[in-house]
């Protein structure tokens, strides 16, 4: 599921980067829902561990 954001799309003025990009490009920008980021470290650990330790750097995928 995604949303089509046009330069004239109305929305929250405080933070709407998709609309700013649509205005800059003068084109439709497609936006995915905000889901957040989970590292493999946090997926395997408890939430208390995740909040007390920084996530490890991502390994390169080569």
- Dump pLDDT digits (tens) for 15-61: 889 999 999 999 999 988 877 776 665 555 555 545 544 555 555 55
Handedness of CA 37, 39, 45, 47 (dihedral sign): negative
What is the chain's length? 62
> pTM, whole model, 2 decimals?
0.51
Handedness of CA 35, 39, 42, 43 (dihedral sign): positive
- Dump pLDDT digits (tens) for 6-24: 999 998 888 889 999 999 9
For residues 7 and 5, give the distance between their C-alpha atoms in angstroms, rounded to a whole number: 7
């Amino acid at each position: 599921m995604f949303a089509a954001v046009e330069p004239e799309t109305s929305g929250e003025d405080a933070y709407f980067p998709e609309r700013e990009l649509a205005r800059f490009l003068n084109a439709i920008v497609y936006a995915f829902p905000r889901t957040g980021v989970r590292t493999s470290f946090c997926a395997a650990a408890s939430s208390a561990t995740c909040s007390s330790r920084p996530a490890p750097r991502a390994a390169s995928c080569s």
